Amino acid sequence: MNKVLEEIAQTIFRSWFIDFEPFKDGEFEYNEEVDKEIPKGWEVGTLKEVISIYDSKRIPLSKIERKVRKGIYPYYGAASILDYIDDYIFDGIFLLMAEDGSVIDNNEKPILQYVHGKFWANNHVHVIQGKNEFCTEFVMLHLMNINIRPYITGAVQLKINQSNLFRIPIIKPDKTTLLKFREIIDPIFEKIRKNKDEINILIKLRDILLPQLISGRLRITNIEKFLAEIDYENN
């Protein structure tokens, strides 16, 4: 379901900000930076102008450190959750973009993770939020349409440093258009976040129940009572 919802959001984004379909009846003007006509009054800027970046708050933890700090908060690396630990640095809706290692997919797009809630991040991933009228989801959808290859350095160890990240171009529509777009996509991403929360509860439930059932410490007839006593938030 989340994959379908993300595809819907991506289709709407491309229609509005790549193909300009809702604005076809308006005036357009040529922009040299993107080498095409864009709606009159829109601008082309850089990613640096529309994001806040929190890389200075990242703290890497070694495997040994994580082993003695097991907990409930996800610990993110460049491409995925690497572990769960006992504390968090960030709390909110963020976009994580791989900084080094696995930074590009088979379609030349950046490796992105859309995350929310409390979490920890290591120093292999940029921690990003949209700012002002540019929401984090807009930034994510924009980056999903970028060929990231020109912004990668390194032959063996691929890297997207902060300077190159900041210079990625972005079309900047007027504020009214951005707010209308957000009204459409906010419910989509709210549903995505809700689905992720439900998935996490099911994963925790599986991890709690299976060992109990396999060992025989829990009988099928006692599951309902057992479930009622589980603290999903802190287990």
Which residue in 219, 184, 199 sits closest to 15, CA to CA? 184
Residues 164, 207 within the same domain? no
End-to-end CA distance of the chain: 26
Q: Is 234 inside any structural domain? A: no
Could you tell me the residue range of the domain that residue 142 belongs to? 43-172
Q: Do 166 and 199 reside in the same domain of the chain?
A: no
Predicted confidence (pLDDT) at residue 47 exceeds the cutoff of 60: yes
pLDDT band for position 230 (50/70/90)? Answer: low
Specify whether the backbone of 131 is left (phi greater than 0), alpha (psi in -120 to 50) or beta.
beta
Are the beta carbons of 159 and 103 closer than 8 angstroms? yes
- With cut-offs at 50, 70 and 90, classify the pLDDT of residue 156: confident
Contacts 24+ apart (CB under 8 A), 21-28: none
Average pLDDT, rounded, for the chain:
92
Whole-structure pTM value: 0.86
Q: Are residues 65 and 102 in the same domain?
A: yes
Considering the domain architecture, whether residues 153 and 192 belong to the same structural domain is answered as: no
pLDDT tier at 208, thresholds 50, 70, 90:
confident
Residues 141 and 197 in one domain: no
How many CB atoms within 10 Å of residue 112?
21
| Mean local confidence (pLDDT), 131-136 | 95
For residue 86, give the nearest of 73, 67, 76 by alpha carbon.
73
63 and 119 co-located in one domain = yes
Quote the pLDDT of residue 17: 97
Q: Are residues 60 and 84 in the same domain?
A: yes
- The first and second tokens of residue 183, run together, are 């009204």
Among 48-62, 119-133, 207-221, the minimum mean pLDDT is found in 207-221
- Dist CA 49 CA 234 (whole Å): 38
